Amino acid sequence: MIRLVLADDQELVREGLRTILGSEPDLEVVGEAADGDEAVRQARLLRPDLVVIDVRMPGTDGLQATRTLLEANGWRPRVLVLTTFDLDEYVFEALRAGASGFALKSAPRHQLVAAIRMAAEGDLALAPAVTRRLVERFGATEVRPTLPATLTVREAEVLELVARGLSNAEIAAHLHLATTTVKTHLSSLLLKLRVRDRIQLVITAYEHGIVAPGADRPDRSGRPS
């Protein structure tokens, strides 16, 4: 069972989300909040698997609440950010703070539910095309020249392909590796780069110039698509 706290300043939005999510057998809404401060209190009290939080709220907004939750020592929940706009600069900042992805309020029910499940499991709850648009618009201005020297050549290759939007299976096919080996490289990258999840690997790759904005997505043969 995935336990959720919902945070949105609009009561009707919370009611709608509660109705949708409550009908799913593996999802349980255990708490609600109308602002960022209450979201932090509810999360620390109830310790949900995932906080689903609106990025724009009066007072303490979703961005600051996300930072507070994910910069804390010890227990930290996963966070999925809700927004009305798919290119909201606050969303990018929330992802940099450690959020596991974001979902549009206008998304179809099945997409929202899928995003929640993915974020709760630690997967990338963000379509590759959206990742690219976000990073191209906000993430390409702080490029640092080098990555940690401890990264192997293979790890750098995996990082590049993650940033280009390939799944684990596609990376395995591209590099002629077993999927389990790709997962091992990903775990090592998370540790060496000190990031939480796949979305932060993508952002790190763009910030360090591993992938340039507008780079093509390679097909399985290695050619740009």
**Whether residues 158 and 92 fall in one domain:** no
Res 70: pLDDT:
87
Q: Is residue 215 part of a domain?
A: no
| Element spanning 68, H or E | helix 62-70
User: What sign does the dihedral 213-182-1-73 (CA atoms) show?
Assistant: negative
Q: Is residue 223 part of a domain?
A: no
- pLDDT single digits (tens) 119-152: 888 766 665 556 666 666 655 555 555 778 899 9
**Whether residues 81 and 12 fall in one domain:** yes
**Whether residues 118 and 8 fall in one domain:** yes
Task: Provide the token pair at 28.
Answer: 């349980």
**Whether residues 19 and 117 fall in one domain:** yes
Domain finish residue from 123, 149, 175: 123
- Structurally, the chain folds into a number of domains equal to 2
Res 189: pLDDT:
95
Q: Is residue 224 part of a domain?
A: no
Res 198: pLDDT:
81
Instruction: Give the C-alpha separation, 198 to 92, whole Å.
Output: 14
Q: Which domain holds residue 180?
A: 138-207
Q: Is residue 222 part of a domain?
A: no
Q: Is residue 14 part of a domain?
A: yes
**Whether residues 56 and 79 fall in one domain:** yes
Q: Is residue 117 part of a domain?
A: yes
Instruction: Give the C-alpha separation, 185 to 183, whole Å.
Output: 5
For the chain, the average pLDDT equals 83
**Whether residues 118 and 144 fall in one domain:** no
Contacts of residue 177, Cβ cutoff 8 Å, sequence gap at least 6: 171
Report strand pairing: 2-7 vs 27-33.
parallel
Which of 128, 97, 115 lies closest to 200, judged by CA?
A: 97
Mean pLDDT of 85-100: 72
Per-residue pLDDT for 219 more than 60?
Answer: no
**Whether residues 52 and 163 fall in one domain:** no
**Whether residues 149 and 110 fall in one domain:** no
Q: Is residue 84 part of a domain?
A: yes
Res 176: pLDDT:
96
CATH number of the domain that 181 lies in? Answer: 1.10.10.10
Task: Provide the token pair at 210.
Answer: 């591993």
CATH number of the domain that 58 lies in? Answer: 3.40.50.2300
Least confident of 3-12, 79-88, 141-150: 141-150
**Whether residues 107 and 142 fall in one domain:** no
**Whether residues 110 and 178 fall in one domain:** no
- pLDDT single digits (tens) 27-72: 999 999 999 999 999 999 999 999 999 988 888 999 899 999 988 7
Q: Residues 158-194, buried b or exposed e (16+ Cβ, 10 A)?
A: bbbbbbbbbebebbbbbbebeeebbeebbebbbebbe
**Whether residues 144 and 190 fall in one domain:** yes
**Whether residues 158 and 190 fall in one domain:** yes
Instruction: Look up residue 96 and give its DSSP letter.
Output: H
- Residue whose tokens read 């997505």: 217
Domain finish residue from 79, 97, 123: 123
Q: Kindly report the backbone phi and psi dihedral angles of residue 75, in degrees, each rounded to the nearest multiple of 5, phi listed first.
A: -65, 135
Helix (H, G, I), strand (E, B) or coil at 160: helix
Res 203: pLDDT:
78
R_g (Cα) of the chain, nearest Å: 18
